[in-house]
Every structure is written in structure tokens, then in C-alpha cells.
A and B are shown apart, each in its own frame.
Chain A
Amino acid sequence: MSSVSGPDLHERLVAHIAEQTALPPEELLPERTFRELDIDSLALVELIVAIENDTGLDLPPELPGVDRDTTLAEAARVLETLSVTAAEGPGEADPGVPHARG
């Protein structure tokens, strides 16, 4: 059961991109595209998996309508839409999983 809301998802998307790219969150403006941030297709899959593990959402491996030329704001809206339909899914976040490097 997901408990994430709209603004929350945008924040989490930005937080995960900041973690992945080492860019300061204030540079990750809503109108930036994944391509502009040099996020390739594999990095995009990594991002989706990280959001799934963080939020417990069960997302499709490729988000509908999201590609490298999508803006962060558009991607956050897709995540919000999917979070509503996925809310009844079997997803769960990954409590207790050690994320730190060995």
C-alpha cells in the first residue's frame, strides 16, 4: 500500500536524481529534461527502481510517456497518476534493506 502523495513524489524524484548524479537539488528544476541532466536509458531504469524501493510503488519498467526528453515536472505527474492506480498493488518499500556500501 502506497502512502506517497503528489508533491512528495516530485521531491523524491529530485532527491533520487541528486543522489544518482551528484548534482545539487536546486539545479534540478522542473523544466529540465533527463537528457539535459545526462540521464541515459539505463540511468532512467535505475531511477524508477530506486523510487519503487523507496516508496513501495509497483511501477512498470518503462513509465508510459516518459523518455529522455521528458521534463522532471512531466515525469512527476506520470508518477502521481501511476501512484493512484498502483496504490492497490502488491508493492512494498524495502524496510531493513542495507543500502550502505559494504
Chain B
Amino acid sequence: MCPMRADDVAVTGLGLVTAAGTGAGEVWRTLCAGRSTARPDPALAALPHTFSCRADHFEPERELGGRLSRRLDRFTQLGLSAAQQAVLDAKLDPGSWAPERVGVVLGVGSNSLERYAPEFHRLAVGRPTKISPYALPRSVPNMAAGEVAIHLGCRGPNFVTSSACASGATAIGVARDLVRSGTCDVVLTGGTESGLAPMAVAGFGQLGVLSRGGTANAPHGEPSCRPSCKPFDTARDGFVLGEGAAVLVLESGAHARARCAPVRALLRGYGASADAHHATAPHPEGRGAEQAVRSALADAGCAPGDIHHVNAHGTATVVGDAVETAVLRRVFGEPPPVTAAKSVTGHVLGASGAIEAAATVLSLQEQTVPPTANLVHPDPALDLDVVAGRPRPVPMDAALTSSFGFGGQNAVLVFTTA
């Protein structure tokens, strides 16, 4: 059991908008159903990879109003909506907090390319003065955090973190430090991304990391399968891109107690590292990943045996899952039950670490590990207890979630029950 500490940081609210649903309750139900949200995407019909996990049910005009939603690109709409939801969930009243002590730190992996195509075209045909003056402000990553501050009146530290697919976890770790240091009472933190513009999808396709489906890697001449993220499966062939946002309300224990806030979980540990190895490939021995896991455990004051569940990075690339398995086995010996949420939500890039942090918090609250979708033939070479088929009740005090980004940027979080 990890010892309690005076500077523990409470998770008092969750906001989620993903292809798996809106709000903690709906997302949890989809995760527990183990249902992949990957579908053919008409906007990608001309590309080699035509599947995505789009948050189709999200209606920005209804959530944010027509005028605001038209000015914002999708990643900011998603992030703002998740932040509003998280504040409501935490029963926080933006009118009563000390605004200069409320920060916003969101992870965003890359510049939005959603509406750049016509603007680049104008540049290419020699008409630079016909480019929208909004092209830049609606696309740059920092706007997600900026718009949250504008609409919720948070006047404390405000920025985004960018560590590729670890951005959301990095944001939560850095936000935790802002609370722990006493700089902020409250930080709205998480991640948001909509990497579904054709240029983004084509780019990931060219890196060879997107699932193609089909029979190429399926054992026993299995019938053709649709593209899907199949973490830890023999037939795994990469991921499907998704979109979404998750925002956690992090709050100092003192602030949460003073207002009798509902506490979903405690954020106990954060570990970050760099592979210092390669632009897109993980270090072959998972050097940076292991260092981040061990740092997070040390920061939490937890021994490996204190961790009862791991929410894995699990992108379903052949090499990534193998390296992650090796790291977990080295750190934990016999690792606790594992799940990989990207099989359900798709890979939401800069938001995925935050979505998985939210899922980890919910696992602790529900004492349940949701199943990994699409896991039909567990790879015998990957010796892990990956939960599949149905949710598994697991008594747990502490759980760990890991995110490993391109560029070898790693962030790991440890949560415990409230």
C-alpha cells in the first residue's frame, strides 16, 4: 500500500469527449463493453487508410454555440467542451474560485491541419493576402488552453505541452507539479486532439503505423478483418486514429477539503523521460519507458507490488507492444492486469494519455479493469495478463498508466483510490 502524503493531489472532476462517448459514465460503459469505435470515414475515402474513430455525436454548435464553434478548430472545441464538463463534474463554481490560482495545462501533439488545405492552396497560387486571418490562431496548439481560460475565467499559468502521444500525460504531470508546489489551487489538465485531417492521416499512414486490416498477420487463414487497433494480439498491425479530449480537475488536498469536493482519486506519482534514441522508433530495450515507469513509482512512494492495474500505452504496433511488454515484465515481474484503451477509443495522439488517465481513475473508482477490444489471439510471445472479452473486477489501491511518444518522450502517472 502506497503511504499517504501531505502533498497528494486530488482528482475532483472528469470531462471526456471521445468516439467512445461523452462524459465519464458513457465512456466507461463503452470501455466496459470492449467495443471498438473504428468506422469507415467518408472524409478519408481517397486515402489508403479509410478508418477513424471520430466523435460523431459531438455537436459543437449545440455545446458551444454557433458563433464560437465556427471560430474554433475541432481540437479546441473538444478541449473546451471537456473542460466545461470537468468543472461541472467537480462541482466547481468559476465565479467563486481565486482565478489567478487556477491554471490550465493541456497536452496537444501537433498543429491543427483541419482547415489549412485551402489556405496552403492560396499560398501556392500566389495569393497570400487571401489567407484567412484566423488560419493561424485557430490552428496553433496553445489556443486550446487559451480558450479554456477565456471561457472559464482561469487566470493562472496557462500553456500546452507537446510530447507527441504522451502530451496528455505530460500535461497532467506538469499540472500536478503546479498544484504540489503551491502555485495553483486548481489546474484543469488533460489533452485534446483531432488528427483526422487527411494530411495528418496520410502522414501517419506513410510512417507505417496505421492498421490496414486484412489477413496478412492473422493466424490460421482467418477471414479478412477490418482495420482495427489490436493491442497485444498476434494479428496486431498498428492503430486507428481517433479524436477527442479528456480534462481532469486537479486540486490541492486542502482546497478540495475546504469545499468538501467529491474526490474521484489521488494523483500520486509522475515520471517522465526521454529515450534519446530515435525519431519514431522506441528504444529496443525500452530504456526510456522503463525509466519513466520506475520514476513514477518512486515519485509515488510505491513499490511495483503496490500497483494493481496497468492502463498500457498499447498502440498495437508490432514493436511497440513487444517493448512495452518487456518493460512491464522487467519492472513488475508478474505485471498486474493490463488493459489498452486505444483498442476502443482509437489513438487520440496528444489526448490519449489524458483519456487513459481518466480511464485509470474510473478503474480505481469502479475497482474494475475494462477489457481490451479486438484481442482475439493474444500473442504468446507477449507474456502479459491482458484483460479481454469482459470487464474484470480487480480489488485495487493503485494503478499506473503509461504513454510513450514519438521522439522517445515518455510520461507515466500513478493514481490511487481516494
B38-87: which residues lie under 8 A (CB-CB) from chain A?
A: 43, 61, 65-67, 69-70, 74
| Cβ–Cβ contact A102 & B133, under 8 A | no
Provide the bound-state CA to CA distance between A102 and B200, in Å.
10
- Could you tell me which A residues sit within 8 Å of B by CB distance? 19-23, 42, 45-46, 49-50, 52-53, 61, 94, 97-99, 101-102
| Cβ–Cβ contact A102 & B131, under 8 A | no
Other than the given A23-B67, A94-B130, A102-B113, 5 more pairs (CB < 8 A) read A22-B70, A45-B133, A61-B129, A98-B121, A102-B196
Provide the bound-state CA to CA distance between A45 and B196, in Å.
28
Question: Closest CB of chain B to A91's CB: distance in Å?
Answer: 9
Provide the bound-state CA to CA distance between A94 and B121, in Å.
9
Which residue of the partner chain A has the closest CB to B134? A46
| Cβ–Cβ contact A19 & B115, under 8 A | no
Provide the bound-state CA to CA distance between A98 and B113, in Å.
13
Given contacts A94-B118, A94-B122, contact A102 B199 (CB under 8 A): yes
| Most chain A beta-carbon neighbours within 10 Å: one of B61, B117, B198, B199 | B117
Provide the bound-state CA to CA distance between A4 and B117, in Å.
26
Provide the bound-state CA to CA distance between A58 and B41, in Å.
37
B132 at the A/B interface (Cβ < 8 Å)? yes
Given contacts A98-B117, A99-B118, A101-B114, contact A49 B131 (CB under 8 A): yes
Question: Closest CB of chain B to A85's CB: distance in Å?
Answer: 17
| Cβ–Cβ contact B66 & A46, under 8 A | no
Given contacts A42-B133, A49-B130, contact A98 B74 (CB under 8 A): no
B128-144 vs A, CB cutoff 8 Å, 1 = contact: the mask equals 01111110000000000
Question: Closest CB of chain A to B139's CB: distance in Å?
Answer: 11
Which residue of the partner chain A has the closest CB to B114? A102
Provide the bound-state CA to CA distance between A20 and B72, in Å.
11
| Cβ–Cβ contact A53 & B117, under 8 A | no
Question: Closest CB of chain B to A93's CB: distance in Å?
Answer: 10
B319 at the A/B interface (Cβ < 8 Å)? no
User: Per a CB cutoff under 8 Å, which of B66, B118, B127, B130 touches A22?
Assistant: B66
| Cβ–Cβ contact B65 & A22, under 8 A | yes
| Cβ–Cβ contact B133 & A49, under 8 A | yes
Provide the bound-state CA to CA distance between A101 and B69, in Å.
12
- Chain A residues contacting B199 (CB-CB under 8 Å) are 102
| Most chain A beta-carbon neighbours within 10 Å: one of B121, B133, B196 | B133
Which residue of the partner chain A has the closest CB to B131? A49
- Chain A residues contacting B65 (CB-CB under 8 Å) are 22
| Cβ–Cβ contact B67 & A22, under 8 A | yes
A–B complex contacts, Cβ < 8 Å, 28 sampled = A19-B70, A20-B67, A21-B67, A22-B65, A22-B66, A22-B67, A23-B67, A42-B134, A46-B133, A49-B129, A49-B130, A49-B132, A53-B130, A94-B118, A94-B121, A94-B122, A94-B127, A94-B130, A97-B118, A97-B122, A98-B118, A101-B74, A102-B43, A102-B114, A102-B115, A102-B117, A102-B196, A102-B198
Question: What are the nearest 10 A-B pairs in CB distance?
Answer: A22-B66, A102-B197, A97-B118, A45-B133, A22-B67, A102-B114, A21-B67, A97-B121, A46-B133, A98-B117
Provide the bound-state CA to CA distance between A18 and B197, in Å.
26
- Chain B residues contacting A99 (CB-CB under 8 Å) are 118
| Cβ–Cβ contact B118 & A101, under 8 A | no
Provide the bound-state CA to CA distance between A102 and B291, in Å.
38
- Chain B residues contacting A23 (CB-CB under 8 Å) are 67
Question: Closest CB of chain B to A84's CB: distance in Å?
Answer: 20
- Chain A residues contacting B198 (CB-CB under 8 Å) are 102
Which residue of the partner chain A has the closest CB to B120? A97
Provide the bound-state CA to CA distance between A59 and B197, in Å.
31
- Chain A residues contacting B74 (CB-CB under 8 Å) are 101
Given contacts A99-B118, A102-B117, contact A22 B133 (CB under 8 A): no
Question: Closest CB of chain A to B293's CB: distance in Å?
Answer: 36
Question: Closest CB of chain B to A23's CB: distance in Å?
Answer: 8
- Chain A residues contacting B133 (CB-CB under 8 Å) are 42, 45-46, 49
